[in-house]
Structure 1
Amino acid sequence: MKKWTKSSLIVAVSAMMVFALAACGGNNNEGNNGGTQGDSSEQKTVSIFQFKTEIVEPLNELAAEFEKEYPNINIEVQTVGGGADYGAALKTKFASNQAPDIFSNGGYAEMDMWFEHLEDLSDQPWVENLLPLAKEPMTKDGKVYGWPIGLEGFGFVYNKDLFEQAGITEEPKTISELVAAAEKLEAAGITPFANGYKEWWLLGLQGVNVAFGAQEDPTAFIQGLSDGTEKIPGNQKFEEWVDLIDLTLKYGNKNPLTTDYNTQLSLFTSGQAAMMQQGNWSQVQLDEISPGMNIGFLPMAANDNAEESDKLHVGVPSNWVINKNSPVKEEAKTFINWLVTSEIGQRYIVEEFQSIPSLSSIEVAEGAMGPLSSEVWEYAQAGKIFQLQNSKFPDGVGQEFASEIQAYIGGQTSREELLQQMQDSWDKLAK
């Protein structure tokens, strides 16, 4: 989903980078297979519109390396993420005849919404190496329409040293154990949770997955919400999710609704708080702010069934798709193929983007991904995951959910009112 990016500001980064043409004279067939360095002096520009703010800097660094091999393709990168509404910004791009050549898409319902603009990528050489979990969101009628930039997972990132300081010897796997851990942390003078609830995506896209992902059949439940056979009010998993929100508020930082992503990270890295709802994407900023932190993941346990609760929320946050009407779509394919097949491209995906590769062909050296991504991968391999569901939501529901949850956090509505408002928003936008 970042769908799954993380800043409270709109980050708009436009960088002109010089890359190579796929083949001499712009042969399209070369572009399909990764391309070769061309001799033509003709310059072509590929525009990328994406929302992962945390990879902007390594993307620019990667461009410098790509430039050495492909001097005749220009890449324009624009990033709109964090607190900004990427979906609305993308619609504006298309409406103003500034459609990008490569753009981000979450898959599932979002793929269907943009389907008329998507290039079929099934013939690309990397498709055969896609992991099943990564391939699913962008597959329709057996054809693949996007490159998953990686797998991401989230839960409660926690400071192991602070847990030890508070005398917590075992990781909490249930909500009762989480309460007990919070009480010990508070007794030791440590704020248990750093809640960045100013960020709409933290609540409306990710946090709600505690309820959606835990349904017996999430896809069927979501379909049931749309056809009227399922309801949010009275659903046990949504009740448990609100219990978890209440827990984080009781043992959390002051003013959570004015705490953005950067402030949340500051509370966590300074040792003022022991846990925060975040994902492995945070590793990049954590390493910059406080290198070498002794950290790990805890499940966002919403009940006392350890077998059910001991899971992380894992999926594809974003896929890069190619505009099928782009005049430089073959050059766009060249860029993606180089990124996923070259040694330096693969290294950047793992070490600089801190992403779990979506392709089995990308090998990961031990420790290369950092502790958070390594733990997400361990959970995924063990099958202990809740798959991300927000890409199946009706357009705009995530933002509506976030506003309603923030009103609840602010004490403006009751639990019952919150769940009914969420139902009403779904009914309105699913039409």
Structure 2
Amino acid sequence: MFKLRAVAALAVAALALAGCGGGSDEPGGSSAEGRTLTLWHYETANSAMGVAWAEAIKQFEATHPGVKVKFEEKGFEQIQKTASMVLNSDQAPDILEYNKGNATAGLLSKQGLLTDLSAEATKRGWDQLLSPSLQTTAKYDERGIMGSGNWYGVPNYAEYVMVYYNKDMFEKQGITAPPTTLDEFTAAMDKFVKAGITPISVGGAEYPAQQIMYQLALSKANRQWVDAFQLYKGKVDFHGPELTFGAQTFADWVKKGYIAKDSAGIKAEDMGLAFMSGKFPIMVSGSWWYGRIADEVKDFEWGTFLWPGNQFSAGSSGNLWVVPEQSKNKDLAYDFIDITMKKDIQNKLGNAGGVPVAADPAAISDEKNKELIDNFNKLAAQDGLAFYPDWPAPGYYDVMVAGVQELINGSKEPSAVLDELAQPYNDNLADIGG
């Protein structure tokens, strides 16, 4: 099976244009006249990806005379829940952003709903632009398990989970930031609670809460455990020290007041808005928020730090460009992916607060953006990318959301929640012959 290697995202920059090339065919051409490329993604306009991809659309239309891009913004949850049905119909777009991992892109590849991009990846040099660790989520075997097999998606950015914090609120409470250990982190949160402030803005109705539980589990994990859980390279004990610590500590954090008891019904968007409005000093979420926070937060100083004390963090390549098997304009979809991998688009993504995979490091001018990229490189260099907790099995996202909601509202004990997480995981392992 595939072994992650410590290769930083921007370390491939030197190879970037050597392998890129964009293929031998001239983009567009007379056959493209009057055609429409239908594109779906769920990034906001002022996010780093939204900014970069808007420019990519402009470049695509400029280099493909007579072709229009019909962009449709979709919600993450909307695509997550309807992809199998829509992509198996004549309503499928030509290209879309889709979640990576066994339970999502892997499942669709196994169902025959995604186009095999292996030949294009070689022809256009995408395989040279992406480091081995970032290619993990692009490839899926016949079982739909990531890390080997054919290319079914192409990421043009990377991402990881970090801690966003309100520097002004930390300073007001006399808290030294950033904390470097979990004990220092919890001591900081204790100070906020004593001051009557709930420390962490949490969205328990969607992905963010489960990522906190996973970060806690990863504090007790090693690479062997991560590969067993994510890549089925060994048996996972759901009542072992990793997940037990994650679930029990998460429940304790609710009891201690670090996490609000009403957060089980909060969506990710509302979590982010609450942090950006200054209501909470901390938000644990991904680098996909970075550009938006940089753009929208004007009333306080903010910063980020890696989860204190961990070697591992939730993170990977970014979401994938996938081409549905039902796409009517696959050649145009390949051209669009190629444009998003160009150095000027990658530089734009980096300067807008994203983590590019093939940018020129010297072209990233903002110091905070450099810190964002440097922290990702640090994780990659220490083999610290641990993917995401909902990836291993189809339908696992909803199982994870329900589990952490039960921990937040106290309706089930951590051990019972871990039993709920174990069942579908082990069922899927049996289904794929594990």
Pick the TM interval, shorter chain: 0.7 to 0.9
* 1:118 is the counterpart of 2:118: no
User: Which residue is equivalent to 1:231?
Assistant: 237
Aligned counterparts of 1:81 and 1:283: Cα–Cα separation in 2:
18
Q: 1:252 to 1:336 in 2, by over 3 A?
A: same
Shift of 1:206: 6.8
User: Which residue is equivalent to 2:6?
Assistant: none
- Equivalent runs, 1:378-397 vs 2, <5 Å: 378-380=377-379, 382-383=381-382, 385-390=384-389, 392-397=391-396
Aligned counterparts of 2:130 and 2:86: Cα–Cα separation in 1:
29
Shift of 1:102: 1.7
Shift of 1:275: 0.7
Aligned counterparts of 2:200 and 2:32: Cα–Cα separation in 1:
56
- Counterpart of 1:148 (choices 155, 159, 175) is 155
Q: Secondary structure at the match of 1:153?
A: strand
Work out whether residues 314 and 376 of structure 1, in 8 Å CA contact, stay in contact via their aligned partners in 2.
Answer: no
User: Which residue is equivalent to 1:10?
Assistant: none
Q: How many correspondences in the alignment?
A: 389
- Equivalent runs, 1:72-87 vs 2, <5 Å: 72-82=66-76, 84-87=77-80
- Counterpart of 1:295 (choices 285, 298, 302) is 302
User: Which residue is equivalent to 2:88?
Assistant: 95
The 10-residue stretch of structure 1 (50-59 or 319-328) with the greater mean CA deviation from structure 2: 50-59
Q: Which amino acid aligns with 2:158?
A: L
With the length of structure 1 as denominator, give the TM-score of the two structures: 0.78
Q: Which amino acid aligns with 1:323?
A: P
User: Which residue is equivalent to 2:17?
Assistant: none
Q: Secondary structure at the match of 1:173?
A: coil
- Equivalent runs, 1:256-295 vs 2, <5 Å: 256-291=263-298, 293-295=300-302
Q: 1:397 to 1:85 in 2, by over 3 A?
A: farther
Work out whether residues 251 and 407 of structure 2, in 8 Å CA contact, stay in contact via their aligned partners in 1.
Answer: no
With the length of structure 2 as denominator, give the TM-score of the two structures: 0.77
* 1:70 is the counterpart of 2:78: no
Aligned counterparts of 1:371 and 1:196: Cα–Cα separation in 2:
28
Work out whether residues 172 and 178 of structure 1, in 8 Å CA contact, stay in contact via their aligned partners in 2.
Answer: yes
Aligned counterparts of 1:253 and 1:112: Cα–Cα separation in 2:
34
User: Which residue is equivalent to 1:321?
Assistant: 322
Aligned counterparts of 1:418 and 1:403: Cα–Cα separation in 2:
9
User: Which residue is equivalent to 1:49?
Assistant: 40
Q: 1:60 to 1:202 in 2, by over 3 A?
A: same
Q: 1:39 to 1:216 in 2, by over 3 A?
A: closer
Q: 1:72 to 1:350 in 2, by over 3 A?
A: farther
Q: Secondary structure at the match of 2:335?
A: helix
Q: 1:361 to 1:125 in 2, by over 3 A?
A: farther
Aligned counterparts of 1:135 and 1:420: Cα–Cα separation in 2:
32
User: Which residue is equivalent to 1:177?
Assistant: 184
